[in-house]
Structure 1
Amino acid sequence: MRVGIIGTGNVGRTLAGKLVSLGHEVTLGSRSKENAAALAWAEQAGPYGHSGTFAEAAAFGELVINATSGVVAVQALRLAGAEPLAGKVLIDVSNPLVFSPLGEVSLEPVNTDSVGEQIQREFPEARVVKALNTVNSEVMVDPGRVPGEHNLFVAGNDPEAKADVVALLAEFGWPQGSVLDLGDITAARSLEMLMPFWLKLMGHFGHADFNYSIRSAG
């Protein structure tokens, strides 16, 4: 499968590397074709790894991943363009974290909106699925870093799109039944609101190799 990734930070590069290792072909997209991180990644990734602009990555991918910061996600996807995103599964892994000069964390948007919803409104023909935003990038592609059973979550309006994402997560190593479907894209609000708590847990443990394990009585 061809995958376009919007964003060249650690999350984007980690996902890109895993996808290439699984035999998928990836274009890592940035604002500029001269982005040093994207060029360096493509050089070491081999024939299945490419770099390009946001628009080139979106056009290339049969599936597209938004791996930008949540506060710039819509802006980045506007540069990618509505037409190359239309009809495609668009996985949003972003979080709208805002850091004050003192290091305090808040979210924008929050409570009555989410980045996932903003993206779906802005690109109504894209099949947006919120996923992977509740774990560290290394755990995203290697769930075995955390011992025992633990969970990921998906949210989106298109059941077939969510099924496609769950299938891709299985390639990453997430067992059947470990991915919980929380419903439509409005559930992205609660998934994004987990992140200040996640940051507190990271401070408590001193590392990011942890995750949520959900147990139900029925």
Structure 2
Amino acid sequence: MDTIRVAVIGTGIIGQTLAARFVQAGHIVTMGTRNPQRDDLVELARRAGASLTSIEDAIHSAEAVVWAINGSAMADAIPAYGQHLADKVVIDATNNIGAPSMNSLALITEYAPTAHAYRAFNSLGWENFANPRYGELNGDLLYTGPTGPTQAVAENLIESTGLRPIRVGDNDKAKIVDDFVALWFSLAIGQGMGRELGFKILTR
């Protein structure tokens, strides 16, 4: 895989796990936070093998930006940092539960119209990124976004977690990916199948 300079925005369990997996795959990872001087966050980034800095500086140094913050915070974050996202691969991994749209792709398009936006890493629990194996199989990850050279960047990052990328279509199909969030919670939590539940797309 080609080495990618990645900014992971967010220091929660999803951000931590993705950052660590990207580092393990050989990418250069910077975690962005509003509080880069906090000792606990510095240690968290160190354990992941990533550097830690401000959100603006993390974005500035990156080719690809993965948003892994609370979904409801995207309404403030994207307008604030949108100008720094120009021409970058931007992956929305957030879920704004209860909002009319679970994803923030429209915000990204509005405030960073030249960014290459993708919807990914939102339909599974962090456990699936930490360990994608299910017996003899690796799980799949559904995503949406444009084709072309930037698609290879998005798929590279998905493959860095060990999951197989499955493109559902352009971002007008993002709700299909978002619907898998509800399915995941219904099976993993509602039906007691456990948080390590994953998905596999099979064809003949």
TM-score (norm 2): 0.85
Moved more, 194-203 or 146-155: 146-155
1:10 is aligned to 13
| Offset at residue 207 of structure 1 (A) | 2.1
SS at structure 2 position matched to 1:182: strand
2:145 is aligned to 156
**C-alpha distance after superposition, 1:36-81 (max 9, x if no partner):** 54312233345xx2111111111121211111122212422333x2
1:108 is aligned to 99
Task: Give the letter aligned to residue 58 of structure 2.
Answer: A
| Offset at residue 140 of structure 1 (A) | 2.2
Tell me: CA distance 1:36–1:185, structure 2 relative to 1, closer, same or farther (3 Å).
farther
CA–CA separation in structure 2 for the residues paired with 1:121 and 1:56: 22
2:160 is aligned to 171
Q: Name stretches of at least 5 consecutive residues in structure 2 with no aligned partner.
A: none
1:143 is aligned to 132
CA–CA separation in structure 1 for the residues paired with 2:175 and 2:29: 29
CA–CA separation in structure 2 for the residues paired with 1:78 and 1:29: 16
CA–CA separation in structure 2 for the residues paired with 1:202 and 1:216: 24
Q: CA RMSD in A?
A: 2.3
| Offset at residue 128 of structure 1 (A) | 0.7
Tell me: CA distance 1:56–1:2, structure 2 relative to 1, closer, same or farther (3 Å).
same
Mapped contact 2:138–2:162 kept (Cα < 8 A): no
TM-score (norm 1): 0.80
1:214 is aligned to 201
1:39 is aligned to 42
2:174 is aligned to 188
Q: Name stretches of at least 5 consecutive residues in structure 1 with no aligned partner.
A: 98-106
Tell me: CA distance 1:181–1:44, structure 2 relative to 1, closer, same or farther (3 Å).
closer
Residue 113 of structure 2 corresponds to residue 127 of structure 1: no
| Offset at residue 10 of structure 1 (A) | 0.4
**C-alpha distance after superposition, 1:83-130 (max 9, x if no partner):** 331111111111111xxxxxxxxx3123xx842233223311111111
1:102 is aligned to none
Mapped contact 1:33–1:51 kept (Cα < 8 A): yes
Mapped contact 1:62–1:88 kept (Cα < 8 A): yes
1:51 is aligned to 52
| Offset at residue 160 of structure 1 (A) | 2.6
Task: Give the letter aligned to residue 123 of structure 1.
Answer: A
Identity of aligned residues (%): 26
Give the total of aligned pairs: 200
Residue 184 of structure 2 corresponds to residue 198 of structure 1: yes
CA–CA separation in structure 2 for the residues paired with 1:200 and 1:82: 34
1:101 is aligned to none
CA–CA separation in structure 2 for the residues paired with 1:146 and 1:75: 42
Moved more, 180-189 or 115-124: 115-124
Moved more, 3-12 or 131-140: 131-140
